[in-house]
Amino acid sequence: MSTTVLSIQHLSKSYGALQALSDVSFEVPKGSIYGVLGPNGSGKTTMLGIITDVLRPDSGQYTLLNSPDHEQARKKTGTLLETPNFYPYLSAYKNLEISALIKGVSTMEIDPVLERVGLLARKNSKFSTFSLGMKQRLAIGAALLGNPELLILDEPTNGLDPNGIAEIRNLIKGLAVEGRTVVMASHLLDEVEKVCTHVAIIKNGKLLTSGSVGEVLASEDVIALRSVDLKKLSDILPGIAGFSKLEWQNEQILLHADLGRSSLEAINQYCFENGVILTHLALQRASLEARFLEITH
């Protein structure tokens, strides 16, 4: 059994002169919560549209759930793409009945799913009478039908109030605990940081970076160091565990290192033991925000 749930290879797509997606490749490991992060209009929805067969790529391939049969794979995938798409004149229950029938899922599953997204009491109300948040929750409910192995959620907290956002985030985390894989597109860095284990950052249709959240977003810590003898300090710093690079800046040295493998005390002690007495030692950890801006600019 392979551990990759979704594999995307060299996907490209243009709308006329606009290159919406350009040679994007990455793999989603089983059990991960994979965030696709990018500003609005960066190509996130285009990419998710292609892997759900709603859009046609110009070139490239994808494999969903390791299955050559895309229809069967989609039946085992719960998807919320862009906006909730339902028949406005049908009730919540009847809309899910249609989804269930297509997926080949028993209609017995509809009530529990409605319960889970808090719409059971409104199951016989027409979709057109729902608020934006309720529509969004119904769409998430539809995605949950049939206990899918993989969920593809495009901006799942769109239109929800703070309570609803927290609920959905908990729901997503719960899904991952149950062993499901979630691919989630978002333009909110904070959301990806709070929920996801992995992230791919897309801008202007290009994949800038991908990997685990730790690797991509918080890869490096920056530590500012001062000493009387900066030259000697710069000579010994590469010996620190987790060292990546150093920068000279005015009267101080900026050390880029992974504090997961070292610590401020350890650095201080190391310098002392190597004959350098620090006059200043401060963590200038690049904020996620700054990191994100750094990647996307």
Partner 1 sequence: MLKNLSIEWLKLKNYRTFWWLIGLFVLCLIGSNYITYQLKVVTSMQSKGGLDLLLGSPFSFPDVWQAVSYVSSYVLFLPGFLMVILITNEYNFKTHRQNIIDGMSRTEFALTKIFMAVILSILSTIVVVLITIVTGLTAGSSFSLTGSVYILYFLLQALTYTLGGLLLGTLLKKSGLSIAIYLIYIGFIKKLISFLLDRYAGGIGSYMPVKSSDELIPMPFFKQVTKSLITPPDGTWLLIMTIFFIVAFYWITVKRFKTQDL
H/E element holding 150? strand 150-154
Q: What is the DSSP string of 31-49?
A: T-EEEEE--TTSSHHHHHH
Using CA atoms, how far apart are residues 63 and 6, in angstroms rounded to an integer? 6
Which of residues 74 and 198 has its CB atom nearest to partner 1 in the complex?
A: 74
Residues 20, 41 contacting (CB under 8 angstroms): no
Query: For binding to partner 1 (CB under 8 A), which residues are involved?
Result: 49, 52-56, 71-72, 74-75, 79, 81, 83, 85-90, 94, 97-99, 101-104, 142
Q: Quick check: helix, strand or coil at residue 4?
A: strand
Closest distance between partner 1 and the C-beta of residue 74, in Å?
A: 4
Residues 210, 200 contacting (CB under 8 angstroms): yes
Residues 95, 142 contacting (CB under 8 angstroms): yes
Query: Which tokens hold the place of 118?
Result: 């808090």
Closest distance between partner 1 and the C-beta of residue 250, in Å?
A: 54
Closest distance between partner 1 and the C-beta of residue 54, in Å?
A: 5
Which of residues 72 and 170 has its CB atom nearest to partner 1 in the complex?
A: 72
Closest distance between partner 1 and the C-beta of residue 170, in Å?
A: 24
Closest distance between partner 1 and the C-beta of residue 98, in Å?
A: 5
Which of residues 47 and 246 has its CB atom nearest to partner 1 in the complex?
A: 47
Using CA atoms, how far apart are residues 187 and 136, in angstroms rounded to an integer? 17
Which of residues 90 and 288 has its CB atom nearest to partner 1 in the complex?
A: 90
Closest distance between partner 1 and the C-beta of residue 182, in Å?
A: 16
Bridging pattern class, strands 33-37 and 198-203: parallel
Which of residues 83 and 125 has its CB atom nearest to partner 1 in the complex?
A: 83
Bridging pattern class, strands 198-203 and 206-212: antiparallel
Closest distance between partner 1 and the C-beta of residue 101, in Å?
A: 5
Closest among 254, 256, 261, 248 to 221, alpha carbons compared: 256
Closest among 75, 73, 97, 72 to 86, alpha carbons compared: 97
Give the end-to-end CA distance of the chain in Å, rounded to a whole number. 39
